[in-house]
């Protein structure tokens, strides 16, 4: 039975009912809806807006309905449209008039707004935990790989030697900012829309501060029209999801490259790889590829919601019912991605020898060789030029810079001495970095210590 049937002389067609209904996807808000309704009933009772015993009966019955939903004993109907009216219908079926009083001083517009905020607050807590786990895993790996030398790249060309720990901690910092972005998002979301009514507030002597306290919000939305009309907090949430997915996706792209025969830097565990139906030798990094692909989906969710909201006049419009699909999808996708990613990197094998070998070739000590000449008093630009010619010479001979004889070195500049070999050895290049936040062993150790202190 329709809760709003009074004004209508004709029933909706079944096609219209079906098109209008959101119960298929918003039923996952049932817990939040019941939580909001229980607080609302308590407030109505406390304020004497409905009889206290009826408020109690409503609360008790809502708890029972929650248990019945969990036990699969409640059948939702399309006719009741959404989760709010489905629960209210069941409530009224069970306790009659008392159930019909629950919707006093409330509208579905503030009801759905509070439901999504409650849902997202839990979602953010879950994401926070998953990101924490991922970051812990990165720290553990970084600790193990402080002495694992690898090429650092720019333009995907070997650039300067770094350590794997350093590379991993770069991602740690990105995920740390992602995590704090979710915290910021929560901070702005943490205001209660319930009690706003449809758009203009209500005529009842409600106590919204009490509601905020009951539901764990730090305050009350200061303007009722804003409270029911906007979904910027959901846009912000999906935007946080998108940025996190972007970081995951870059990391995945690297793992895909690193696990190719061409790199052979890592081997993803069999448990997180798949085979080919035709090529027996294949072991594919599907999890990483899927995360990279799903990143596109989450960006799509962000674009959907921004576009859904952009043309809406204040206050509530039914378009807003469409907010849930991208919100749910972005959260689900991010959680699944962070989870599988963490498992995948915790179990992958790092081929430290291959990384080190790759770091030895590619003239990555060229900058250090130039810096060496600077210490001998030459201007950096001249040093750059000299080393450039040396690299060209070495490429021609098919050797590394440190494979030149001292006579060959001196042929390019009489400033070169025997100590050049030690100065441009790979670990020396890493060790010699002095700037704060660098790849030097010392600096990475400090970065790890700072991370531990933050926690």
**Shortest distance, position 106 Cβ to ligand ARG, whole Å:** 11
**Shortest distance, position 244 Cβ to ligand ARG, whole Å:** 26
316 contacts ligand ARG (rule: CB under 6 A): yes
Output phi, psi for 160, to 5 deg.
Answer: -145, 145
**Shortest distance, position 315 Cβ to ligand ARG, whole Å:** 10
The answer to whether residue 247 is catalytic is no
CA pair distance 37, 60, nearest whole angstrom = 11
Which C-beta is closer to ligand ARG: that of 325 or that of 378? 325
**Shortest distance, position 296 Cβ to ligand ARG, whole Å:** 26
Residue 150 pairs with which residues in a beta bridge?
Answer: 162
Question: Treating both helix axes as pointing N-terminal to C-terminal, what angle do 30-46 and 108-144 enclose, rounded to 10 degrees?
Answer: 130
Identify the active-site residue in 14, 180, 260, 276.
Answer: 276
**Shortest distance, position 4 Cβ to ligand ARG, whole Å:** 9
Which H, E and C letters describe 34-99, residue by residue? HHHHHHHHHHHHHCCCCCHHHHHHHHHHHHHHHHHHHCCCCCCCCCCCCHHHHHHHHHHHHHCHHH
Q: Which stretch binds ligand ARG (CB under 6 A): 211-219, 274-282, 314-322, 389-397?
A: 314-322
321 contacts ligand ARG (rule: CB under 6 A): yes
Which C-beta is closer to ligand ARG: that of 84 or that of 101? 84
- Classify residue 185 by its DSSP letter: H
Which C-beta is closer to ligand ARG: that of 85 or that of 131? 85
> Interface residues for ligand ARG in 82-111 (CB under 6 A)?
82, 84, 108-109
Ramachandran quadrant class, 392 (left: phi over 0; alpha: psi -120 to 50; beta: rest): alpha
CA-to-CA separations, 437 to 14, 136, 238, 251, 446, in angstroms, rounded: 64, 20, 31, 20, 9
Which C-beta is closer to ligand ARG: that of 112 or that of 235? 112
For residue 125, give every residue at least 6 positions away whose Cβ sits within 8 Å of its Cβ, in sequence order, or none: none
- Classify residue 191 by its DSSP letter: E
The answer to whether residue 276 is catalytic is yes
Alpha-helix residue ranges (DSSP H) falling in 164-207: 164-189
Q: Which two tokens stand for residue 103?
A: 């919707």
CA pair distance 269, 348, nearest whole angstrom = 5
Out of 7, 10, 155, 318, point to the residue binding ligand ARG (CB under 6 A): 318
Which C-beta is closer to ligand ARG: that of 57 or that of 320? 320
For residue 298, give every residue at least 6 positions away whose Cβ sits within 8 Å of its Cβ, in sequence order, or none: 238, 241, 242, 245, 329, 330, 333, 334
230 contacts ligand ARG (rule: CB under 6 A): no
Which C-beta is closer to ligand ARG: that of 34 or that of 383? 34
Which C-beta is closer to ligand ARG: that of 244 or that of 321? 321
User: What is 284-347 written as a DSSP string?
Assistant: B-HHHHHHHHHHHHHHHHHHHHHHHHHTPPSS--GGGGGGHHHHHHHHHHHHHHHHHHHHHHHH
Q: What share of the chain is helix, strand, coil (3-state, %, to 5)?
A: 65, 5, 30
- Size of site (CB under 6 A) for ligand ARG: 11
Q: Which stretch binds ligand ARG (CB under 6 A): 47-55, 87-95, 312-320, 406-414?
A: 312-320
CA pair distance 448, 21, nearest whole angstrom = 52
Question: Up-side HSE of residue 168: CA atoms within 13 Å toward CB?
Answer: 28
120 contacts ligand ARG (rule: CB under 6 A): no
Output phi, psi for 95, to 5 deg.
Answer: -130, 10
Identify the active-site residue in 9, 155, 405, 435.
Answer: 155
CA pair distance 358, 364, nearest whole angstrom = 10
**Shortest distance, position 281 Cβ to ligand ARG, whole Å:** 51
37 contacts ligand ARG (rule: CB under 6 A): no
Out of 305, 320, 330, 359, point to the residue binding ligand ARG (CB under 6 A): 320
Q: Which stretch binds ligand ARG (CB under 6 A): 125-133, 217-225, 315-323, 440-448?
A: 315-323
> Interface residues for ligand ARG in 7-26 (CB under 6 A)?
22, 26
Which C-beta is closer to ligand ARG: that of 21 or that of 373? 21
CA-to-CA separations, 62 to 21, 33, 41, 90, in angstroms, rounded: 22, 10, 10, 9
**Shortest distance, position 261 Cβ to ligand ARG, whole Å:** 51
Q: Which stretch binds ligand ARG (CB under 6 A): 175-183, 250-258, 313-321, 357-365?
A: 313-321
**Shortest distance, position 218 Cβ to ligand ARG, whole Å:** 24
Which C-beta is closer to ligand ARG: that of 26 or that of 178? 26
CA pair distance 382, 155, nearest whole angstrom = 24
**Shortest distance, position 20 Cβ to ligand ARG, whole Å:** 9
- Where on the chain is the footprint of ligand ARG (CB under 6 A)? 22, 26, 82, 84, 108-109, 112, 316, 318, 320-321
Residues annotated catalytic, as ranges:
155, 276
């Amino acid at each position: 039975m329709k809760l709003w049937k009074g004004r209508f002389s004709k029933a909706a067609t079944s096609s219209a009912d079906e098109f209008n209904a959101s119960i298929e996807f918003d039923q996952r808000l049932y817990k939040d809806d019941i939580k909001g309704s229980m607080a609302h009933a308590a407030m109505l009772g406390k304020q004497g807006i409905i009889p206290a015993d009826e408020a109690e009966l409503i609360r008790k019955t809502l708890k029972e309905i929650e248990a019945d939903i969990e036990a699969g004993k409640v059948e939702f109907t399309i006719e009741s449209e959404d989760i709010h009216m489905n629960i209210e219908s069941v409530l009224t079926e069970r306790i009659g008039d008392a159930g019909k009083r629950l919707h006093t001083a409330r509208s579905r517009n503030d009801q759905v707004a509070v439901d999504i905020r409650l849902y997202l607050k839990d979602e953010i807590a879950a994401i926070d935990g998953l990101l924490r786990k991922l970051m812990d895993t990165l720290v553990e790996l970084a600790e193990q790989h402080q002495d694992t030398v690898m090429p650092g790249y720019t333009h995907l060309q070997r650039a300067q030697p770094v350590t794997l720990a350093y590379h991993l901690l770069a991602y740690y910092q990105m995920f740390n900012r992602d995590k704090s972005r979710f915290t910021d998002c929560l901070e702005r979301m943490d205001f209660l829309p319930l009690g706003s009514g449809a758009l203009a507030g209500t005529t009842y002597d409600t106590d919204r501060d009490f509601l905020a306290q009951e539901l764990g919000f730090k305050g009350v939305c200061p303007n009722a029209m804003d409270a029911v009309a906007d979904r910027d907090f959901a846009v912000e949430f999906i935007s946080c999801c998108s940025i996190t997915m972007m970081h995951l996706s870059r990391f995945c792209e690297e793992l895909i490259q690193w696990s190719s025969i061409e790199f052979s830097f890592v081997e993803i565990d069999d448990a997180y790889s798949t085979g080919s139906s035709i090529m027996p030798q294949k072991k594919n990094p599907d999890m990483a590829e899927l995360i990279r692909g799903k990143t596109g989906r989450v960006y799509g969710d962000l674009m959907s919601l921004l576009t859904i909201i952009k043309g809406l006049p204040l206050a509530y419009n039914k378009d807003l019912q469409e907010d849930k699909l991208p919100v749910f999808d972005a959260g689900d996708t991010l959680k699944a991605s962070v989870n599988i990613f963490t498992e995948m990197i915790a179990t992958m094998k790092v081929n430290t020898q291959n990384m080190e070998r790759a770091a030895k070739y590619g003239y990555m000590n060229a900058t250090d060789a130039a810096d060496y000449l600077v210490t001998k008093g030459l201007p950096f630009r001249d040093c750059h030029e000299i080393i450039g010619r040396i690299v060209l010479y070495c490429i021609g001979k098919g050797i590394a810079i440190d494979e030149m004889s001292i006579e060959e070195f001196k042929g390019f500049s009489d400033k070169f001495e025997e100590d050049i070999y030690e100065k441009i050895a790979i670990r020396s290049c890493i060790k010699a970095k002095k700037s704060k936040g660098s790849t030097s062993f010392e600096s990475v150790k400090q970065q790890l210590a700072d991370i531990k202190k933050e926690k």
